[in-house]
Structures are given as structure tokens and as C-alpha cells.
Amino acid sequence: MGGIWGLATATVLENIPVEVRGLAGGVFQQEHAVRYLIATVINVYLVPRTTWRTLFRVAFSLSTFAAALQASLPESEIFLRARQEEEIGLERPIQSKTRIFSHEVGEMHKRHWRGWIYVVLLASGFGLLSHGSQDLYYGFLVANKIISED
């Protein structure tokens, strides 16, 4: 699903209540695991009966469907409201927004620096585990005779 997933996630997250965005964001980030699960099922059940190209055809079909679905959705209320504010001049200048954001991030680091370090280390560890499993996935399939090295 590649580039479509991030946009679809952003669209969903801006349209759900603020209170559940963290939980919903975590659920949507499970896409990597689901993608590998789908690829494994296709590889185990369809590829031996057809050809390896089946895996790519299914992935292409799912990505095309997701792109078409995303393109057919209307713009979100938040986006339309922001565009309307920009047109009538209620929008703050970008330098002002950047200054406010930088100040808020600085204040967050001052108040919650221990939690920030913990989250950075935790996210780095999850990233290492995730990419480690992605890099080793092909070797796992070959070693377990799920696919051949040809």
C-alpha cells in the first residue's frame, strides 16, 4: 500500500475525536504486520498453484483499489475549514505558526525531558525490530522452504 497508507491514515486521524487519536494511530500503524501477513498467505497458498507474479498482481490490485478509494473520498471538514480561513485571511502567517510550534516543542522538552528520551529510545528499538524482521523476511521464507531461491 506504500504511499497511500500514510495519506489514508492522516485523513482518518483528522476526522476522529482527539481523545482516541493516539489509540487509532497505533492501530493504523500495524499496517506493516498486516501487509506481511497478507503476503505470506498469498505466497503459501496462491504462488505454488500459479506463479510468483500472482503476489505482485494482488499487491498491485490492492494498491490501485486503495488509491481509487482515497481519490473518490471528499475533502475532510478540517481541510475545508482551513482552506476557507486561508481565503478570508484568518490564517496566521507560516512564520508565526512555526514560531509557536517551536516554542511549544521547547517547552515540552523542558517539562517532559525524561519521557521524551524514553519515547525516543522506545521508538528506536521498535524501528530496529521492525526493520530487522523486514530484512530477514526473505531469509525466513527460504530457510523454511516456503519459497525457493530461484
Q: Tens digits of per-residue pLDDT, 59-109?
A: 888 888 888 888 888 888 888 888 888 788 766 666 777 888 899 999 999
* 73 and 144 housed in the same domain: no
The pLDDT of 39-64, averaged and rounded, is 84
Domain for residue 56, yes or no? yes
Which candidate, 54, 43, 49, places its Cα nearest to that of 146?
43
Number of domains in the chain: 2
Which of 8, 1, 9 is closest to 25 using CA atoms? Answer: 9
Residue 117 is predicted with a pLDDT of 93
Residue 96 and residue 73 share a domain: no
Task: Give residue-wise pLDDT tens across range 111-124.
Answer: 999 999 999 999 89
Range(s) of the domain holding residue 55: 1-77
**pLDDT (0 to 100) of residue 106:** 92
